[in-house]
Amino acid sequence: MRRRAMRSAPDFWRSRSWHAALMLPAATLFCGLAALRRGLYRHGILHREQLPVPVIVVGNIAVGGSGKTPAVLWLIEELRKAGRHPGIVSRGHGGQVSASGTPHLVVAGSDPDFCGDEPVMLARQAGCPVAVGRDRPAAARALLAAHPECDVIVSDDGMQHYRLMRTVEIAVVDESVLGNRWLLPSGPLREPLSRLAGVDLILAHGELSPRLRALAGAVPVASMRLAGERFRSLTNPDEWCGAEAFIGKKVHAIAGIGQPQRFFDQLTSMGLDVIPHPFPDHHRYCAADFDFAPGETKLMTSKDAVKCAAFAPPDAWELPVRAIIDAGAIAPVLEKLNDGRQTA
């Protein structure tokens, strides 16, 4: 089987080892520059762009998968229930467009190699307008020009993209990816933990420690988990089955996501005998990646499936998941939208 080198978080991010400590001067500099940059935007020294509609940013403070994309899908559904007409903007990580300054509208049939895997998945599952681009304000303006019915923009990732003014900030936090709690490059944090006290809602993917809840202060915290029970065929999207179809035989689990072990564990919890095949996050698959175990079942995430459907082998299936979030979690978001104030 052809396999590219697996890119993963450095081992020293998991603990406060001597290796991580050696990088603390660089982490201190990173922290200072990040705080300075945010302060310059907050005080109007660096220009922030305000859109004609409210903006909700869904992001995180750490490198690595936290369940952000399912949270965006949950948010879109809740906004629709409230009578809103949302659109989504994203940088398009993993796609060629992320290196371009030109925004691009994404539809269900867009090329994930160009637009990015997550934006194409969102266009297919959310059923609302999606635009991608390195310049998020420009992407949002392009989306609004093409879809003037949109009355709220959801920014998929972008908590640290301060040039785009936002009305609501939602942080998705999985404490298992926070590692040693140090900032880059000593640890996985993009911003200090204290940043959580400034958001409007925390979606906790898994349990939060008492210390982290205390740091969040008065910010509402809602629990979140991912659920998926049925598999969809990549070669025949109208065909679905349950986990019982794979009981008693080995299945090959393919995951090119931030936390591939989470997917493998989910399949194991469903009673499946899993052979894991982790790939780098946003991996660009090709047919040669499936040149192993011919005729044997291969299971993957929806994020991987959007890139593999064109050349997937016959017995390949995706497991769509949805975010299960506490009832009432949307309330502070809608309250802030109705209030209309921008957040720093």
CATH code where residue 113 lies:
3.40.50.300
DSSP 314: T
The verdict on 305 and 290 lying in the same domain is: yes
Say which range, 56-60, 64-68, 104-108, 211-215, has the weakest mean pLDDT. 64-68
Measure the CA–CA gap between 130 and 63, rounded to whole angstroms: 23
What does the block give as tokens for 108? 């269900």
247 shares a domain with 153: no
Q: What is the distance between the alpha carbons of residues 313 and 221, in angstroms, rounded to a whole number?
A: 42
Q: What is the largest CA-CA distance in the chain?
A: 63
Same domain, 235 and 316: yes
Verify that 281 and 159 share a domain, yes or no.
no
How far apart are the C-alpha atoms of 299 and 279, rounded to whole Å?
A: 13
What tens digit of pLDDT does each residue of 139-178 get?
999 999 999 999 999 999 889 999 999 999 999 999 989 9
Whether the per-residue pLDDT at 334 is higher than 50: the answer is: yes
Same domain, 180 and 266: no
The verdict on 25 and 95 lying in the same domain is yes
pLDDT at residue 2 greater than cutoff 60: no
- Tell me the C-alpha distance between 1 and 78, whole Å: 43
Q: Count up the domains in the chain and report the number.
A: 2
Residues 186 and 69 in one domain: yes
Are residue 132 and residue 164 in the same domain, yes or no? yes
In the predicted model, is pLDDT for residue 340 greater than 90?
A: no
Domain of residue 262, residue span: 229-320
205 and 78 housed in the same domain: yes
% of the chain with per-residue pLDDT over 90: 78
Statement to judge: residues 163 and 245 lie in one domain = no
Amino acid occupying residue 148? P
From start to end of the chain, where are the E strands? 55-59, 86-90, 104-106, 130-132, 152-156, 168-173, 201-205, 221-227, 230-233, 240-242, 250-255, 273-278, 298-301, 316-319, 322-325
Q: Hey, how many other C-beta atoms are within 10 angstroms of the C-beta on 121?
A: 24
Confidence of residue 96 (pLDDT cuts 50, 70, 90): confident
Map tokens 């200090």 to a residue.
192
pLDDT 10s digits, 187-219: 999 999 999 999 999 999 988 899 999 999 999
Assess whether 210 and 281 both reside in one domain. no
pLDDT digits (tens, 9 = 90+) for 103-130: 999 999 999 989 999 999 999 999 999 9
pLDDT greater than 50 at residue 1: no
Whether residues 108 and 257 fall in one domain:
no
Whether the Cβ atoms of residue 276 and residue 254 lie closer than 8 Å to each other = no
CA distance 119 to 122: 5
Give yes or no for residue 342 having a pLDDT over 80. no
- Which range among 239-243, 267-271, 308-312 shows the weakest confidence by mean pLDDT? 308-312
